[in-house]
Amino acid sequence: MATADELKRAAGEAALSHVEDGMNLGIGTGTTTEAFIRLLADKVRDGLQVTGVATSERTERLCRELSIPMATLEELPKLDLTIDGADEIDQSLRLVKGGGGALLREKIVAVASRKMLVIADEAKLVETLGAFPLPIEINGFGMIATYLAIQEAVGELGLSCELILRRRGPEPFITDSGHLILDASFGRIPDPHALSNALLKVPGVVEHGLFLGLADEALVATASGVRHLT
C-alpha cells in the first residue's frame, strides 16, 4: 500500500515529463508541489533550463534553496505551464484550492499560464466539490460586514455554510498579500459557478479557492499508477 508521500512523489515525477527545456514555469504551493520541486531541482542540476515563478513566499524560498532559477511575475507575465496541487478535483477538472493559503497568487499565476497541470493523490478526487472547506480570501477592513455579506449571498443561493476565520496559532492567518482567510464549510457545492459569481460580488472578497475552467490536465497518483485526466 503506497503512502500519501509516495503518491505525491509519483504525481510529481509524472509531472516532470511535461516540463520542457526553456520553459517559464508557474510553481504551485503545498506538499505535493514540494515533492515536484525537489525532483525538478535534480533535473535543473542535471542541466534542464527552466525559470520558475512562485505562487507563494514559501515556494519561492524552497526553489531558491534548491537553486532553481526564479523570476517574478512582473518579469515574466506570460508563462508556459503552471504545475500546482489541489484540495479537491472533480470529474470536470474543477478545483478547490487554497488549503495552504496561497489561492490568490495561485489563481493569478494559473491565469497567466498557457496551461495548468494539477498534481495530486487520489484522495483529492471527488464527485462533488465542497467537502473540503472553501477558502475565501478577504480584506481585513470591515471583516464582520464581509462575513455577514457572504452569509447573505450564500443564503440567496439556497446554501448555508459555516464560516471560520483561519488562524495560525492564536493569531489570524495572514496571506502573502496581507489578507485574511475565511474557510467556508458547505458540505457540497452543487453549482460552483453560481457560488463563484455570488462570492465575487461581495466587495470585501478578494478571491476564493474555486478554480473553474483553469485546470487543463491533472495527474492523479493512485495505488495502481498515475491517472492522466484531461
Q: Which of 106, 152, 156, 171 is catalytic?
A: 106
Encoded one letter per residue, x for contact with ligand 5RP by CB under 6 A and - for no contact, window 95-134 reads --xxxxxxx--x----------------------------
Please pick, from the candidates 6, 13, 31, 48, the single residue that binds ligand 5RP as defined by CB under 6 A: 31
**C-beta of 134 vs 153, nearer to ligand 5RP:** 134
Task: Give the β-pairing of 217-222 and 116-121.
Answer: parallel
Please pick, from the candidates 52, 85, 130, 192, the single residue that binds ligand 5RP as defined by CB under 6 A: 85
What angle, rounded to 10 degrees, do the helices at 4-16 and 31-45 form?
50
Please pick, from the candidates 7, 27, 86, 195, the single residue that binds ligand 5RP as defined by CB under 6 A: 86
Known binding-site residues for substrate equal 29-32, 84-87, 97-100, 124
CB of 129 to ligand 5RP, least distance (A): 13
Known binding-site residues equal 29-32, 84-87, 97-100, 124
Binding segment (CB under 6 A) for ligand 5RP, from list 28-36, 71-79, 140-148, 215-223: 28-36
106 among known catalytic residues = yes
Is residue 87 near ligand 5RP by the rule CB under 6 A? yes
Interacting residue ranges for ligand 5RP, rule: CB under 6 A: 28-32, 84-87, 97-103, 106
Q: Which residues are part of the catalytic machinery?
A: 106
